[in-house]
Amino acid sequence: MKILVTGATSGLGRNAVEYLLAQGMEVIACGRNPQAGEQLTQLGAQFHAIELASLSVVDAKTLMTDCDAVWHCAALSSPWGRREDFENINYHATQVLADAAGEMQIAHFIHISTPAIYFNFTHQQNIVESTENRQFANHYARTKYLAEIAIKQRVFRYPSTRYIILRPRGLFGPHDRVLLPRLLAQIKERSGKLILPAGGKHPFDLTYVGNVVHAMQLATIKENLLSGAIYNITNQQPLPLKQTLQRLFDQLEINCQIRSAPYPLLYTVATIMEGVANLTGKEPLLTRYSLGAAYFTMTLDNQKAQQELGYYPLYTMEQAIHLTAQWLKQQESTC
């Protein structure tokens, strides 16, 4: 099997490429980081340095030549940034790739979306895939929602391609450039202290990247899935954020003091930081969205993924935390 993986130089895409190569698959990998691309080439992937924001359908078709599937992992995943950047990368690029796959009659198109489209600054538990939300917290959530709409519009237009949408919650693990790097930056900025709203006592879902790769594989090979189907993906072990982070810090031997602060106070601080960021153009250390994501309970219903995909996590939270800590330690030793 030959698979195109977008966003291959970091995060989920990087893990996906490494998994596919280990399985003996032929991989076309694209991304923006040429140094990481060189590493992927050494592993056996065919790497193409691509800026998705300017990708044409013709170029996308070239990338997909003789491919059996597309794993679209690339996204601008950030709580802060310019609206145009999110629209170009998360929405327009997805349209281009989905059209190219349909016109090339690629059998499987796996689109990685996000549960951020559910987020509404309230506590929510066991959210099902049919839940709708039209008031989005930021440009990231809004453009990922638009990308899902674009995918659904192509289901009937291109019947030879099966489009599947996955919504993994709170990705963490090797090659992560989103969740853990921001937390570790806050700890460094505050001299070993991490301030969490309500002390991180509220439970919510996280998902180890290896489990998301497993879900993508199932979505590719599982028969009788309906094109356009959407699945929540989590580790199926919601835990308080403080408990999860403390386990990770203990394994990393990081002396971090997790402190509690009132949500309203932190919300005011985040609002001020965003105001300063509007003037400087630099991402603030704290945003209202990232604060809310750390405060409000948000757990996802997993029944559809279990029943239709047959998805159950390969790695428990304990195993995932251990593997993540090992990888972070390895990165420190090679720096």
The full DSSP string for 135-152 is S-SSHHHHHHHHHHHHHH
Q: Read off φ and ψ for residue 13, nearest 5 degrees.
A: -60, -40
| pLDDT digit string, tens, across residues 74-91 | 999 887 888 999 999 999
Looking at residue 180, its pLDDT comes to 73
> Above 60 in pLDDT, residue 227?
yes
The C-alpha torsion from 248 through 254 and 256 to 258, rounded to 10°, is 0
Looking at residue 24, its pLDDT comes to 95
- Global pTM? 0.94
> Above 70 in pLDDT, residue 333?
no
> Above 80 in pLDDT, residue 12?
yes
